Chains A and B, each alone.
Chain A
């Protein structure tokens, strides 16, 4: 195993550049180093001006998503040795505006997330004296997979539909909407349907499936979207067959 590897890191300094360029850094290869460790080595020892986001270093916060050799990855969970002898090309997540170097703006996702109401919606809250809303293990299992999303945005980066049509609500927001739709305590399904069963919602998805492949938490956004399409189609059929109240 070589003891050094070359990182080709995308640099974008808006005050100086109109488009990103690449800068090469030689970093030591250590068996237990992930890409994020190598970037921190660059930041601490070689070039303090390099900018990137990170926080937990353990695949929980979802901050350190970047494009590594063309594939969206959590850099805290991507080992440097897997790319030996290199070079390793590190770029910001695709399909988002780049603010600086490896940092992208996530405002578009944040606005869309609010639109799908990712919280428990109740028509009427029961009094506290009646106790908590209880769930069986099966009811928990119905939505648990979709609740594992850490908003890392790898799925948006892998989704060509979002790249082509930024109005598309996108994989993570749709999967999180489904997380609440499938929650036995939630009653907000009909409200979300207005936002989700639209061309910019689930019907914008053409099932490329790459969102599911790159998800580090096995959330399966593509599955969530296809399931919702089926649900929305059945809801429409019920409305046609039983217009007096099939829905």
Chain B
């Protein structure tokens, strides 16, 4: 693609970015996978909302939800969603220190501690939910 856009250069060459630019390197590919994983995060939210809706309307609705959720395509979609949501969470946890600058006592908290804090909160929330479901 050629465009003459300055009075100093009457002709130049400008390469258009390929539609498949994200396949040109591994980091670009991982970036696109991270972006696509948002769709599966959205699906997970929809699935949870359907679960809450089923539970809130009584035993019949809940049984209907379980019947629907046990279909092979829903199970396959949920397994794929679990993998994508894990990837989504891990990549964003690891990127958190770039955006979050925390200073304590005039010193910047190391990025590893911010990442560790994210993982710690994840483990704590998972343990709380496991306790609520299994322990009570």
Contact = CB atoms under 8 A, between A and B. Distances in A.
Chain B CB within 10 A, most for which of A20, A70, A163 = A163
A42 to B, nearest CB: 21
Interface string A150-183: 0000000000100110000000000000000000
Given A164-B17, A226-B99, A210 B27 contact: yes
A68 B5 CA distance: 27
Contact of B15 (A94, A207, A208): A94
B95 interface: yes
Nearest to B11: A14
Contacts of B101: 227
Q: How large is the interface on B (under 10, 10 to 19, 20 to 34, 35 or more residues)?
A: 20 to 34
Interface stretch (A97-105, A193-201, A238-246): A97-105
B2 to A, nearest CB: 7
Interface in B1-40: 2-3, 5-6, 9-15, 17, 21-22, 24-25, 27-28, 31, 35
A7 B72 CA distance: 55
Contacts of B12: 14, 97-99, 105
Given A105-B12, A107-B6, A223-B98, A138 B106 contact: yes
Interface residues of A, number: 34
A229 B35 CA distance: 18
B13 A19 contact: yes
A226 B35 contact: no
A213 interface: yes
Contacts, number: 71
B121 interface: no
Nearest to B34: A207
A35 interface: no
Chain B contact surface mostly: loop
B11 to A, nearest CB: 4
Contact of A70 (B5, B25, B95, B100): B25
Contact of A223 (B2, B24, B25, B99): B99
A207 to B, nearest CB: 7
Contact of B28 (A19, A94, A160, A229): A160
A154 B60 CA distance: 61
Interface of A: 12, 14-15, 17-20, 70, 94-99, 105, 107, 138, 160, 163-164, 206-210, 212-213, 220, 222-223, 226-227, 229-230
9 contacts: A14-B9, A15-B11, A17-B13, A95-B17, A98-B15, A105-B12, A164-B17, A208-B31, A226-B98
